């Protein structure tokens, strides 16, 4: 299912002028606050009618200013998980969950309450009122409520912004299951690199109301220049890895990326499983010759793909390693001393890697 968006909408002094198309299973709308993410999501949901433009899922047009088409929100079949959950306070959890299902024609229902309740682990909450739930529980019920309306697209507008990291860690596996087990596209709004790196198959980067870049998560997130505006410390690459050997005898796991072999702290999973690692640009050193006596475990050979300015003294150098782009933040002085230019050979020494969840199944199999 292709989500295609092409809109122009003015709201006070702010203009959203965004166009992208994506067949991703989990499309992250990514950008700093005020970049137009929530406006865009509200336009997709039909809560805001854009001044100009068109939004369509597959061949189903939701709004088109050229032909005057506008499908009202209640006919769009789009599940919206709001930032503040917005559970109905006068209904129990069970009634909240079944609310949207009631408006869905029987023929269009594709999920059963039992399955969703199990998937989200909210079975013990059914009799409660929303006021009696914790933040994480509210988020899960809100997801379940949207899901039980059997939507054709799910929108999540920073659904976990108010949760602490422990609660988020509790919920992310559920989102990954939605992404991998259901065949409905999810549009996920976030301004956190870590969340996007963990969950997204595709990323649309918004900045000042415009699409800065869009495409598969690994390639978008690896282009360092899209990220500094969000959070310089988090800028970096996302690498897809396949587990070769869970234990190499030193308590380390052996994995393979498109550019080489990696050693990471032991991962308890079966060989062949896919994982995602985030490599921050500030954790990568560069060398022009293969260093012999260093303690860094992970070293990848590649060529300089591009060099981007990053502040007064630094640059970010993107190294093409296989199909991955690994970025390194180095000083301009080092750049000159190493005489790096686009095309020159370089070795990336990775000091530290963060595992960012299990990778989605390889793209292409179920993207219809």
Partner 1 sequence: MEWWTLSPEEWTAVRLSLKVSVWATLASLPLGIAVAWLLARRDFWGKSLVNGLVHLPLILPPVVTGYLLLLAFGRRGPVGAFLADYFGIVFSFRWTGAALACAVMAFPLMVRAIRLSIESIDRRLEAASGTLGAGPAWVFATITLPLMLPGVIAGMILAFAKAMGEFGATITFVSNIPGETQTLPSAIYTFTQVPGGEFGALRLTLVSVAIAMTALLASELLARRISRRLDLE
Task: Decide whether 45 or 239 has the Cβ nearer to partner 1.
Answer: 45
Rounded least distance, CB 49 to partner 1, Å: 13
What 3-state class would DSSP assign to 47?
coil
End-to-end CA distance of the chain: 5
What 3-state class would DSSP assign to 337?
helix
Task: Decide whether 44 or 318 has the Cβ nearer to partner 1.
Answer: 44
Whether the Cβ atoms of residue 41 and residue 48 lie closer than 8 Å to each other:
no
Task: Decide whether 143 or 218 has the Cβ nearer to partner 1.
Answer: 143
Rounded least distance, CB 240 to partner 1, Å: 34
How far is the C-alpha of 188 from the C-alpha of 10, rounded, in Å? 23
Binding site for partner 1 (CB under 8 A): 45-47, 72-80, 82, 84, 86, 88-90, 99-100, 102-104, 129-132, 145-146, 149
Task: Decide whether 102 or 250 has the Cβ nearer to partner 1.
Answer: 102
How far is the C-alpha of 252 from the C-alpha of 245, rounded, in Å? 9
Task: Decide whether 137 or 240 has the Cβ nearer to partner 1.
Answer: 137
Whether the Cβ atoms of residue 29 and residue 37 lie closer than 8 Å to each other:
yes
Task: Decide whether 104 or 213 has the Cβ nearer to partner 1.
Answer: 104
Rounded least distance, CB 99 to partner 1, Å: 6
How far is the C-alpha of 10 from the C-alpha of 200, rounded, in Å? 28
DSSP letters, 171-212, are HHHHHHHHHHHS-S-EEEEE--HHHHHHH-SEEEEEETTEEE
The angle at the Cα of 130, spanning 124 to 132, to the nearest 5 degrees, equals: 70
Rounded least distance, CB 80 to partner 1, Å: 4
């Amino acid at each position: 299912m292709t989500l295609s968006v092409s809109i122009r909408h003015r709201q006070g002094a702010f203009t959203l002028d965004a166009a992208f198309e994506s067949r991703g299973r989990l499309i992250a709308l990514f950008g700093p606050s005020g970049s137009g993410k929530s406006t865009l999501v509200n336009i997709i949901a039909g809560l805001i009618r854009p001044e100009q433009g068109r939004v369509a899922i597959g061949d189903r047009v939701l709004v088109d200013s050229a032909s005057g088409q506008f499908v009202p929100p209640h006919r769009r079949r789009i599940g919206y998980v709001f930032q503040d959950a917005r559970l109905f306070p006068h209904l129990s959890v069970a009634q909240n969950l079944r609310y949207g299902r009631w408006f869905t024609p029987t023929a269009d229902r594709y999920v059963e309450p039992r399955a969703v309740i199990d998937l989200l682990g909210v079975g013990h909450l059914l009799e409660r009122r929303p006021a009696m739930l914790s933040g994480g529980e509210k988020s899960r019920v809100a997801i379940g409520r949207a899901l039980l309306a059997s939507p054709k697209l799910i929108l999540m507008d920073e659904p976990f912004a108010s949760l602490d990291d422990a609660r988020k860690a509790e919920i992310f596996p559920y989102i990954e299951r939605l992404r991998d087990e259901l065949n409905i596209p999810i549009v996920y709004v976030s301004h956190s690199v870590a969340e996007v790196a963990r969950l997204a198959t595709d990323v649309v980067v918004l900045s000042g109301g415009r699409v800065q870049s869009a495409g598969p998560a690994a390639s978008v997130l690896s282009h360092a220049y899209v990220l500094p505006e969000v959070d310089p410390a988090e800028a970096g690459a996302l690498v897809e890895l396949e587990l070769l050997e869970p234990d190499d005898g030193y308590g380390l796991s052996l994995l393979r990326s498109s550019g080489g072999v990696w050693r990471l702290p032991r991962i308890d999973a079966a060989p062949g499983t896919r994982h995602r690692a985030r490599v921050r640009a500030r954790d990568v050193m560069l060398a022009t010759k293969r260093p012999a006596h260093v303690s860094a475990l992970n070293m990848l050979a590649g060529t300089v793909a591009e060099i981007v300015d990053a502040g007064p003294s630094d640059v970010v150098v993107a190294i093409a390693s296989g199909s991955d782009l690994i970025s390194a933040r180095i000083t301009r002085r080092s750049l000159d001393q190493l005489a790096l230019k686009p095309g020159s050979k370089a070795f990336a020494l990775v000091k530290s890697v963060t595992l960012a969840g299990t990778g989605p199944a390889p793209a292409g199999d179920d993207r219809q």
